[in-house]
Amino acid sequence: MNVSDKKPFAQQTQEQLKDCRVSAWRRYALLTVGRSRFGALLLYELITGTLCNFPGMAGFWLRQKFYRYIVSSLGKGVIIGRNVTIRGGAKIDIGDHVSIDDNVVIDARGENGLVLIGSGALISRNTILRARNASLTVGEGSDVGANCILATDSNLEVGKDVLIAAYSYLCAGGNHAYDRTDIPMIRQGFVSRGGVVIEDDVWIGSHAMIMDGVHIGKGSIIGVHSLVNKDIAEGSIAFGQPAVTRGNRMEGAGAGND
């Protein structure tokens, strides 16, 4: 567990956005495109303002053609639904045949912010992928259910062919230090427990919460409403608050809960 005395990235962003010495459009550009360049902001506004809610098949086709100009890379055959919010697009890579449903937010902020979505992945509606000065990866063929939050200030890695059911929360980082009482906790340093790693072929049930520092081994099943705050070994079937391993698929255990 590492403790940093650096300002949390959220606090740095708040200070930049409230800095009256910087013009309003530059602060807005920092939030949306990740850099204060008028040309990049204008392109972003034209594309998203025109196409974000464009209906029907034409909307899907136009977003696939033009959203490549507001992200780092966009593969072939990508489907982008209506009202998808892209922030920090220069640090967002989207593979081939990815499907991004309506109302998804993909947010990569900070110098080291990076979001990678592997080919064939599905990001369901109302889900948030947020990387603040850190990396977030969704592996090839993975399925992230509706209304999920995947957020990292450290490192968050979701492997290939992972199932994440609706309303799950994967929280990698964001642990504020609180030892001092003379200053607010938001202005103190933060504690990193190493991020979150979900290996390939994992099934995470609905409303599960995966905490910072957790490593879930390949082929594991996490039951509904579970709170995972410790590592889960490969092939495990685990559930509860906190989650406890109840069996192992490699030893012939039955299917887990979803």
Which residue, among 110, 94, 106, has the nearest Cα to 130 in the 3D structure?
Answer: 106
| Cβ neighbours for 213, distance < 8 A, ≥ 6 positions apart | 1, 193, 194, 195, 196, 229
Confirm whether 182 is domain-assigned: yes
pTM: 0.85
pLDDT for residue 2: 52
Confirm whether 83 is domain-assigned: yes
Domain that includes residue 127, residue range: 56-242
Confirm whether 177 is domain-assigned: yes
Q: How many domains does the chain have?
A: 1
Confirm whether 106 is domain-assigned: yes
pLDDT for residue 69: 94
CATH at 82: 2.160.10.10
Which residue, among 209, 225, 210, has the nearest Cα to 257 in the 3D structure?
Answer: 225
Report mean pLDDT in 10-residue bins for the chain, 258 residues.
49 53 73 77 92 95 95 96 94 97 94 94 98 95 98 94 98 82 82 91 98 96 97 97 94 54
Confirm whether 51 is domain-assigned: no
| Cβ neighbours for 29, distance < 8 A, ≥ 6 positions apart | 35, 36, 37, 38, 40, 41
pLDDT for residue 3: 46
Confirm whether 5 is domain-assigned: no
- List Cβ<8 Å contacts ≥24 apart for 138-141: 138/162, 139/200, 140/95
